[in-house]
Amino acid sequence: MRIAMIGAGYVGLVSGVCFSDFGHDVICVDKDPSKIDRLNAGEVPIYEPGLDALLAKNVAAGRLQFTHDLPAALEAADAVFIAVGTPTRRGDGHADLSYVYAAAEEVAAVAKNYMVIVTKSTVPIGTNREIGRIVARTNPDLDFDVASNPEFLREGAAIDDFMRPDRVVVGVETERAANVMAEIYRPLFLRDFPIIRTDLESAEMIKYAANAFLATKITFINEVAALCEKVGADVKEVSKGIGLDGRIGNKFLHAGPGYGGSCFPKDTKAFARIGQDASSPMTIVESVIAVNERVKQRMVGKMLDLCDGSFADKKILVLGVTFKPNTDDMRDAPALTILPSVTAAGAEVLVVDPQGRREGEALMPDVIWTEDLYAAAEGADLIVILTEWNEFRALDLQRIATAMRASRMADLRNVYTAQDARAAGFEAYASVGSHSYIHD
């Protein structure tokens, strides 16, 4: 099949590369000339494990190209995927669909032959029907179908998610469109991965409902963690105990500083707004959004307690600031809420993160970036684990504790235990939802 992918951001680039690895001819289109130049030079503008090698393999095979020439990309295309951003619109929580609608209009203006226009972007219910109206209005003579094909990619594991999905959701209205989509996903069908065919609205709803439910699981366990601290329970044991129930499952039950990233924050806000507009309030989702913000502030409180109630003139070493490990994505990372509160209160904050600096320097101009965490620990008053990169799971805790002016740790990802910290010589340790000690 011949595929045009509009948008060479995270979703578009990963999807385009993986489709080409299926054996399809893929052209990725983006309006940013510098991004296209970098891709044509073999440089990957995002950090995603394995993506650079897969991209190079398919470019060399002649199945993958990058351009800013939309008419050329659409020439003889069987399907065009719209994979542009849908950020939260300022002021009202709605998803900003201006990029999606602009892409649909541009496709319609230059398309000549039948194609399926597929929405990969996360869009509110009713968006695909509006895309159909835009295309028909812009080019009344164009023969086309619209399809909804939401993505379910986890940053840091996106290639595996695409190649071995839990399911593929395809919303279509005609057999012709269904056949095109079936051919595109034929490699997965042949390996018995579930491909669910729905109507347009159901496909759109599945994406929002899935993300909202996962965000709810994270927020639920974070509330349970707060209660555990009050009553003496251990949230890690609680998570294991409830996660073994097959009706609940053990994923997304890890207590921490709250969810962030490119999907959950904007999608929960958009989902809540969709419910409000439809006079069917999503009260659970609205609570999830509010609680997640409180969780971040609770982390600041933990750090403040370890600093004897004041951040002034304290040196704080922070390990990890991306919203999760194995990505360079800083969008809505808890660090963006937590660390400005700390620096504004007078602390000197040093940050170590394997991939976060590229985006993080502009977003957090008041922190100091360093690569040698052991050197940075010299004279520190507090060390904070904020993102659980593998590099931080086997630290020489005794060396760190010895180097610090005040050997105190805020383990906000529960990487270690109070026993680990005590054995290494830490005078104070706090985790999320489990046993802590201060000035022991």
- What is the set of active-site residues? 263
Q: Which residues of 78-109 are buried (b: 16+ CB within 10 A; e: fewer)?
A: bbbbbbbbbebbeeebbbbbebbbebbebbbe
Locate 59 and state its tokens: 């470019």
How many residues are recorded in the chain?
440
Locate 217 and state its tokens: 């699981």
Interatomic CA distance for residues 436 and 434, integer angstroms: 6
Max CA separation in the chain (angstroms)? 77
Amino acid identity, position 209: A
Helix H, strand E, coil C: the string for 227-293 is: HHHHHCCCHHHHHHHHHCCCCCCCCCCCCCCCCCCCCHHHHHHHHHHHHHHCCCCCHHHHHHHHHHH
Give CA 300 to chain center in angstroms: 23
The CA-based angle 217-221-223, given to 5 degrees, is 120
Interatomic CA distance for residues 59 and 225, integer angstroms: 47
CB 434 within 8 Å of CB 236: yes
Q: With the C-alpha atoms ordered 30, 358, 353, 317, is the resulting torsion angle positive or negative?
A: negative
Amino acid identity, position 365: P
For residue 411, list its beta bridge partners: 385
> What is the arrangement of strands in the sheet containing 315-319, beginning at the earlier edge strand?
368-369, 348-352, 315-319, 382-385, 408-411, 428-430
| CA distance to 132, 209, 259, 337, 387, per residue, from 323 (Å) | 35, 21, 7, 11, 7
Half-sphere exposure of 43 (CA within 13 A, CB side): 7
CB 350 within 8 Å of CB 314: no
Locate 300 and state its tokens: 């600041």
- Within 10 angstroms of residue 138's Cβ, the number of other Cβ atoms is 16
